[in-house]
């Protein structure tokens, strides 16, 4: 057979594709002629409503702040223009986020914070289902965070947003980002709850350096570096403050201890 020869699809596959194409975009793609519209309507409503409900559960704040018609338009646009790469329900939120980042980017009807809020909401589910696990055999949970090499939990995500996504809701819908970005650590607690901590730029830098320097630098060395970057006149003051901060982060489960 020639390399580029057309392959004739079996009839049942062609029928399935026609059926699915109509379900995705019923206003522009005709239904299969041999299916009664009353029956087809059942499938149209079932597929759309199930996906809408599932995504509303993944992105509850977005669902609350968007009017019904806007939400329905958003879900329909997702159906029409996005092609998912996974059949898993738990990964539908990632597919929706991909859609917002690509096909739906910069839609003038959408709030300017929509993509960032969607990412923040997706992070909660992603952390809940993540199977990332540190090698606890190599970690001393009670280790000295100043003299040892602190370990950042793989279930603690260090994030920055233009908008204060953790405050957005029906009563907080900013039209433009504030002057300063929002820095957050979203993490899974030892009790498997998802929590967030708003941090400043210095704490964010601390976490970045600790994550980069695991096995290579002690907590004290990282804090000395931060003091130098800040041009702080009293590095010991930065170290003392940083020591308390790292202990708080360990209590929360953001830091797991030190490398053995």
Mean of per-residue pLDDT scores for the chain: 92
pLDDT in tens, 210-219: 999 777 899 9
Given this model, what pLDDT does residue 7 score?
A: 60
SS3 state of residue 258: strand
Letter string b/e over residues 158-195, b meaning 16 or more CB atoms within 10 A of that residue's CB: bbebbbbbbebeeeeeeeeeeeeebbbbbbbeeeeeeb
CA dist 175 and 58 (Å) reads 23
pLDDT for residue 85 is more than 90 = no
Task: Tell me the pLDDT band of 31, cut-offs 50, 70 and 90.
Answer: confident
pLDDT in tens, 168-181: 999 999 999 999 99
Domains of the chain: 11-110 (1.10.150), 136-259 (3.90.930.50)
**Cβ-based neighbours of 7, under 8 Å, separated by 6 or more:** none
Residues 254 and 197: beta-carbon distance below 8 Å? yes
Task: Tell me the pLDDT band of 2, cut-offs 50, 70 and 90.
Answer: very low
Among the listed ranges 18-32, 70-84, 130-144, which one has the minimum average pLDDT value? 18-32
More confident residue, 9 or 91: 91
SS3 state of residue 183: strand
pLDDT in tens, 191-240: 899 999 999 999 999 999 999 977 789 999 999 999 999 999 999 999 99
pLDDT for residue 1 is more than 50 = no
pTM of the model: 0.89
């Amino acid at each position: 057979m020639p390399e580029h020869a057309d392959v004739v699809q079996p009839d049942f596959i062609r029928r399935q594709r026609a059926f699915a194409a109509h379900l995705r975009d019923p206003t522009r793609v005709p239904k299969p002629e041999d299916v009664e519209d009353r029956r087809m309507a059942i499938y149209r409503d079932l597929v759309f409503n199930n996906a809408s409900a599932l995504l509303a559960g993944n992105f509850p704040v977005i669902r609350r702040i968007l009017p019904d018609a806007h939400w329905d338009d958003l879900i329909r646009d997702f159906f029409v223009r996005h092609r998912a790469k996974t059949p898993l329900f738990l990964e539908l939120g990632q597919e929706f986020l991909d859609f917002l980042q690509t096909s739906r980017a910069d839609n003038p009807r959408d709030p300017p914070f929509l993509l960032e809020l969607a990412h923040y909401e997706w992070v909660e589910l992603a952390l809940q289902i993540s199977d990332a696990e540190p090698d606890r055999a190599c970690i001393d949970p009670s280790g000295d965070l100043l003299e040892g090499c602190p370990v950042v939990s793989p279930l603690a995500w260090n994030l920055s947003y233009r908008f204060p996504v953790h405050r957005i809701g029906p009563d907080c819908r900013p039209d433009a980002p504030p002057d300063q970005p929002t820095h957050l650590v979203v993490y899974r607690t030892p009790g498997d709850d998802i929590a967030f901590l708003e941090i400043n730029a210095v704490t964010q830098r601390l976490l970045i350096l600790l994550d980069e320097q695991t096995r290579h630098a002690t907590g004290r060395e990282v804090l000395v570096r931060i003091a130098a970057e800040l041009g702080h006149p009293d590095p010991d003051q930065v170290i003392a403050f940083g020591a308390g901060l790292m202990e708080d982060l360990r209590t929360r489960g953001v830091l797991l201890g030190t490398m053995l």
